[in-house]
């Protein structure tokens, strides 16, 4: 290596060493690993010697690398993924440093051969270590795994008539054409273009969230689906040809959340006009009924084919109230909840769940927890359902035989500062609620998070099936997945646990003054858990030692890490966080083999509260008012409370989680 390249490399080594010495000193002062401080000081010395052409500079860096290797193996063993940020960059730098000993001429080369050989050996050894990585499942399946008493009625039906396959929300098909043996041979049959594309503000400026999340239903030879801008479409299941498409100019202005997850099919009694209907939510808070054959609105339903869900909801902005998830029709009732905006304001529309006559669209009952635990008759014009109550934004599941519907509830707004929660908010937030479909009367409620201050609401209703216990008893059961990664297994008629639930003590200190924190939380100890372990300094990752070091400092500065750390003025590293381990997709339950399949995600977030008069809060508020969405501005405004919340994905300086 030439002299100037050697000097340049010496500067790189010294500068990196200086960074590690300073940042490593911060980490060590917080009680973290002293490795970065020691390695940084040694690298500064190595860089200085290399710059002077002294061979000791090379061997000092070799010593740093050997120490790094031993430290890495001590911390994480042969975990290849964890060794990447600890060893890859230092090993590349080692190879470059050793090349500074390579000189022209046979004698110079012979002296450099051992050093270069050492570098090659280091790279080869690193490759072997990174290639050795065992992957083990977390948790274990209990010896008495849930299984069905028998195949459910209609299990072999080729149609997919409901959002979750059936009203029970199992997301299971008994069709056997696709098998583990032939799934790899599947080929594209057709592609359908909806014609619904992001508008400029959605595609470039990111002022709105545009999500394509629909699960089509399958009736006869037709698929029915919806799009983010509330297009409702019928598609030939064999050819992919669009049979019809319905879309009306809707109130887009000010609506920053655009998503539709599906539609519902309903057959009205014989002789009814528009007997076969597609019921679809819209992002401007309507529920439309369309003729499934033509796509035209059913004029006898509601007002001209639609129900205005803003009725009796009081003053709201377009984005405060959005239909994202299809209703459920069971026992002569059309039952629907809505997405009510989170964390913008304490004064928001009600989380009321309403039932309508699916033929006429006339309102039948309203479950407004601020007025009664049981449903009440629809309010007359001019009256408003209780503002800011827990909403039901995920899919509702139903048990037609027992006349029950199951709601997964959210929280009263805001999610992150809970000082103004009311008794009924506390009782019904983040809970499974069973209501009688005909009347809306409360059958039972089981809360899965107490005093939720982390946005751990239930994003979907449970999956229902019949369970044969080891003693032969058949129990009507449900399985509920959660954002926390806990899986709850209950008797669906009573809410009683089938698998054990244990109230465990959790941390209570660190919240803002005057906020009551629940001293315990329910853990489903009788079922496997998908809850990830709390992040630790050793477990942090990164693309390089640099961003890993920043993550280590974050961990040490945090008030707490993991699940159920109280929200306060110091950051916590929430893992899991509001995106959950399992979100609105829920689980797929095979009721024949007793197998549940769950799609999981692990994305930690850094969260904390700031007083509204904090200058930093004012800066973030200005960014948000300038048009940036919540993810960009990282701010939850929580108007009409003393605090704003900062919620940001916990990633390194290079963007890696």
Residues involved in catalysis: 455
- Consecutive H or E run containing 523: strand 520-523
The first and second tokens of residue 72, run together, are 């890495």
Q: Which residues contact 392 (CB under 8 A, 6 or more apart)?
A: 337, 338, 351, 353, 407, 408, 409, 410
Give the strand pairing for 643-649 and 635-636: antiparallel
What is the sign, positive or negative, of the torsion defined by CA atoms of 547, 548, 549, 555? positive
Phi, psi of 556 (to 5 degrees): -70, -30
Cα–Cα distance measured from residue 452 to residue 412, given in angstroms and rounded to the nearest whole number: 10
Using alpha carbons, select from 540, 542, 617 the residue that is nearest to residue 573: 540
Name residues whose C-beta falls within 8 Å of residue 603's C-beta, 6 or more positions apart in sequence: 576, 577, 579, 649, 657
DSSP lists the bridge partners of residue 545 as none
Q: Are 416 and 609 in contact (CB under 8 A)?
A: yes
Task: For residue 151, give Cα distances in angstroms to 67, 147, 330, 463.
Answer: 60, 10, 21, 15
CB 610 within 8 A of CB 619: no
Contacts of 639 (CB under 8 A, 6+ apart): 344, 345, 346, 347
Cβ pair 261, 230 in contact under 8 A: no
Give the side-chain half-sphere CA count within 13 A for 271: 0
Q: Report how far Cα 407 is from the mean position of its chain's Cα atoms.
A: 19
Measuring CA to CA, how many Å separate 287 from each of 3, 51, 188? 75, 73, 34
Instruction: Count how many residues are written for the chain.
Output: 657
* CB contact at 8 A, 235 and 241: yes
Give the separation between CA 338 and CA 306, rounded to whole angstroms. Answer: 16
Strand 474-481 versus strand 487-491 pairing type: antiparallel
Q: Are 192 and 207 in contact (CB under 8 A)?
A: no
576 prior amide bond cis, ω within 30: yes
Nearest to 286 by CA among 265, 274, 264, 303: 303
Q: Is the dihedral of CA 8, 10, 12, 14 positive or negative?
A: negative
Exposure class string for 36-69: b at 16+ Cβ within 10 A, else e: bbbbbbbbbbbbbbbbeeeeebbbbbbebbeebb
| β strands within 229-352, DSSP E | 232-236, 242-246, 257-260, 264-267, 276-281, 286-291, 306-308, 321-322, 328-330, 333-336, 339-340
DSSP string, 628-656: --HHHHTEE--BTSSEEEEEEE---TTS-
Give DSSP secondary structure letters for 452-508.
Answer: --S-----SPPEEEEEE-TTS-EEEEEEEE-TTS-EEEEETTT--BSS--EEEE---
Provide the 3-class DSSP secondary structure of residue 589.
strand
- Please state the φ and ψ torsions of residue 397, each to the nearest 5 degrees: -110, 160
């Amino acid at each position: 290596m030439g002299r100037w390249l050697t000097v340049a490399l010496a500067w790189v080594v010294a500068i990196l060493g200086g960074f590690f010495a300073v940042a490593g000193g911060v980490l060590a002062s917080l009680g973290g690993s002293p490795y970065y401080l020691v390695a940084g000081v040694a690298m500064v010395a190595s860089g200085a010697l290399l710059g002077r052409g002294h061979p000791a500079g090379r061997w000092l860096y070799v010593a740093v690398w050997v120490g790094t290797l031993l430290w890495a193996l001590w911390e994480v063993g042969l975990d290849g993924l964890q060794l990447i940020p600890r060893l890859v960059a230092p090993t590349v730098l080692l190879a470059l440093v050793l090349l500074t000993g390579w000189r022209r001429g046979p004698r110079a080369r012979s002296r450099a051969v051992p050093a270069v050989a050492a570098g090659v050996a280091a790279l080869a050894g690193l490759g072997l270590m990174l290639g050795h990585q065992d992957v083990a499942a977390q948790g274990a399946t209990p010896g008495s795994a849930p299984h069905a008493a028998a195949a459910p009625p209609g299990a072999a039906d080729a149609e997919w008539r409901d959002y979750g396959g059936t009203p029970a929300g199992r997301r299971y098909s008994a069709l056997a054409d696709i098998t583990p043996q032939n799934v790899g041979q599947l080929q594209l049959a057709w592609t359908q273009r909806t014609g619904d594309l992001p508008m400029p503000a959605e595609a470039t400026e990111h002022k709105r969230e545009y999500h394509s999340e629909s699960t089509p239903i399958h009736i006869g030879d037709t698929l029915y689906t919806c799009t983010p801008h509330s297009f409702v479409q019928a598609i030939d299941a064999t050819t992919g040809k669009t049979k019809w498409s319905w879309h009306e100019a809707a109130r887009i202005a000010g609506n920053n959340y655009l998503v539709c997850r599906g539609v519902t099919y309903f057959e009205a009694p014989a002789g009814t006009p528009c007997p076969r209907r597609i019921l679809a939510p819209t992002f401007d808070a309507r529920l439309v009924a369309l003729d499934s054959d033509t796509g035209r609105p059913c004029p006898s339903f509601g007002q001209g084919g639609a129900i205005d869900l803003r009725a009796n909801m009081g003053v709201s902005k377009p984005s405060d109230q959005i239909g994202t998830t299809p209703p459920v029709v069971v026992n002569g009732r059309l039952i629907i909840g809505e997405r009510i905006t989170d964390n913008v304001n304490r004064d928001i529309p009600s989380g009321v769940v309403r039932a309508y006559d699916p033929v006429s669209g006339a309102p039948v009952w309203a479950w407004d927890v601020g007025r009664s635990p049981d449903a009440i008759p629809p309010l007359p014009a001019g009256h408003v359902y209780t503002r800011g109550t827990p909403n039901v934004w995920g899919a509702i599941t139903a048990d037609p035989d027992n006349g029950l519907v199951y709601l997964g509830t959210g929280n009263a707004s805001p999610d992150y500062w809970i000082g103004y929660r009311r008794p009924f908010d506390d009782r019904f937030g983040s809970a499974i609620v069973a209501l009688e479909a005909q009347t809306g009367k409360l059958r039972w409620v089981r809360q899965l998070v107490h005093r939720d201050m982390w946005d751990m609401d239930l994003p979907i209703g449970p999956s229902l099936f019949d369970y044969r216990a080891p003693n032969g008893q058949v129990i009507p059961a449900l399985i509920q997945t959660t954002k926390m990664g806990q899986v709850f297994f209950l008797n669906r008629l009573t809410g009683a646990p089938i698998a054990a639930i244990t109230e465990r003590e959790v941390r209570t200190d660190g919240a803002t003054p005057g906020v009551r924190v629940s001293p315990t939380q329910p853990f489903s100890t009788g079922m496997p858990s998908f809850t990830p372990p709390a992040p630790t300094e050793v477990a942090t990752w990164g693309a390089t030692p640099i961003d890993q070091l920043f993550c280590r400092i974050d961990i040490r500065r945090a008030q707490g890490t993991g699940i159920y750390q109280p929200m306060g003025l110091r950051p916590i590293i929430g893992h899991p966080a509001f995106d959950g381990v399992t979100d609105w997709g829920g689980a797929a339950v095979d009721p024949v083999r007793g197998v549940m399949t769950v799609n999981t995600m692990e994305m930690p977030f850094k969260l904390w509260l700031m007083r509204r008069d904090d200058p930093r809060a004012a800066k973030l508020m200005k960014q948000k008012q300038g048009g940036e969405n919540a993810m960009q501005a990282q701010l939850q405004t929580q108007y009409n409370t003393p605090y704003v919340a900062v919620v940001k994905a916990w990633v390194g300086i290079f963007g890696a989680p």
